[in-house]
Amino acid sequence: MAQIMYQPTWLNTKITANHQPSPATNASAINSPVTNIPAINLPAIKQWSAIKLFYRQHMPYARLAQKESVAVIHHLSSSTIDGTDEVDISQQKIIAAIRVKPIGQYQLINGLLVHPDYRGQQLSTQLLKFIAPQLITKNCFLFAHPWLIDLYQQLHFIVIDQHDLSAIPADIIQLYRRYHSEQRPLVLMQLNEPDK
């Protein structure tokens, strides 16, 4: 039986398939040996389709946008990464993902999701540590489920008290109020300096 290996990577969201050339561009391309028609990035399209399917199956209310950065963990067997076979990430099963969404000059972490069969294996922590170098301290926020507060606190996020909301950017507060409800209570958290 092959050993299970986990490898976080950034998902390639630079997809050009939706940028189809205009009919005028096509006509000129017939007479011109050099064109500026964007190439279709099939591996990126496959990755994007796989991540959308992953969220649709396990977090159906999530809405992905291509402007987000998405980090994923694939289920890779050791036989795939032992150097004898070339790894095709787009063909591997996604087992965990997290999204970093730009909100003006701020960042919002959302959509932390681990496949039910792989929970309890520290994959959330692994993903959070993987994306940490890309996060902007003091400008990074998340809306945590109450049972995940301890996880985020271990990674230098602090709970924002309801009395301190006036110090939080309006764009973040507006989103927080949209997603937070009595039926789905969320806790606003902000990335703090690691030494504080």
Of 79, 132, 83, 91, nearest to 109 (Cα)? 132
Sheet holding 187-191, edge to edge: 4-10, 69-77, 93-103, 106-114, 140-144, 187-191, 157-159
Q: Is 78 left (phi over 0), alpha (psi -120 to 50) or beta?
A: alpha
- Give 121-178 pLDDT, tens digit per residue: 999 999 999 999 999 999 999 999 999 999 999 999 999 998 888 889 999 999 999 9
What is the CB-side half-sphere exposure of residue 161 using CA atoms within 13 A? Answer: 2
Residue 145: Cβ within 10 Å count: 13
Per-domain boundaries in the chain: 1-18+38-123, 136-196
CATH 3.40.50, applies to 1-18+38-123: no
- Give 91-116 pLDDT, tens digit per residue: 689 999 999 999 999 999 999 999 99
pLDDT at res. 16 = 46
